[in-house]
Amino acid sequence: MSRLHVFVSFDMEHDGELYELLLAQSRAPSSGFAVLGGSERSTATDVGSERARRLIGEADQVIVICGEHTEASIAVSAELRIAQQERTPYFLLWGRREIMCTKPIGAKPAEGMYSWTRQILQDQIMITSRRTGADVAAEIQRNATRKG
């Protein structure tokens, strides 16, 4: 099975060590995913935003690590908006068990944050991947029906 490429969005001011933890987890042969890129300080600039848009567009999924201050992170909100615009599937990961974590601005109210365990992370990556595959298959079917 090939490894899915993910972009990791996180609050650089407060959650850099969580990104490093996820990066280390991705290196395990059984992880099922590889990190294509992550948040950068330049996301707020036009050049940084275009780089983030390219990386998010190339990714199979986006993982948004949510911490205590994620709601206030301009970069995470911008990256989430880009993922939504690019229709790159994403999910929210509860980054800190002992602290109340917040969603980025732009997250839908019905979207939950998933607990961060190895099994839940792998399951969520696979579920999101399957859902995306089903969406693509449904879109192809709709287009074929319209043309037919």
Give the strand pairing for 4-9 and 113-115: unpaired
Answer whether 52's CB lies under 8 Å from 78's CB: yes
Is the pLDDT at 11 greater than 60, yes or no?
yes
- pLDDT tens per residue across span 105-125: 999 999 999 999 999 998 998
Residue 146 has pLDDT above 60, yes or no: no
User: Strand 33-38 relative to strand 61-66: parallel, antiparallel, unpaired?
Assistant: unpaired
Residue 48 has pLDDT above 70, yes or no: no
Give the number of other Cβ atoms within 10 Å of residue 113's Cβ.
18
- 134, pLDDT greater than 60: no
**How buried is residue 109: exposed, middle or buried, by Cβ count under 10 Å (0-12/13-18/19+)?**
exposed
**What tens digit of pLDDT does each residue of 79-106 get?**
999 999 999 999 999 999 899 999 999 9
Decide: 130 and 61 in contact? Cβ < 8 Å: no
Domain 4-147, CATH: 3.40.50
Cα dihedral 6, 4, 89, 48, rounded to 10, equals: 30
Contact 82, 105 (CB under 8 A): no
Q: Range with the lowest mean pLDDT among 36-40, 41-45, 125-129, 130-134?
A: 130-134
Distance CA 79, CA 96 (A): 20
- Report the pLDDT value the prediction gives residue 128, as an integer from 0 to 100: 77
- pTM score: 0.84
Is pLDDT of 140 > 50?
Answer: no
Q: What is the pLDDT of residue 132?
A: 64
Residue of 72, 60, 59, 76 lying closest to 19 (CA atoms): 76
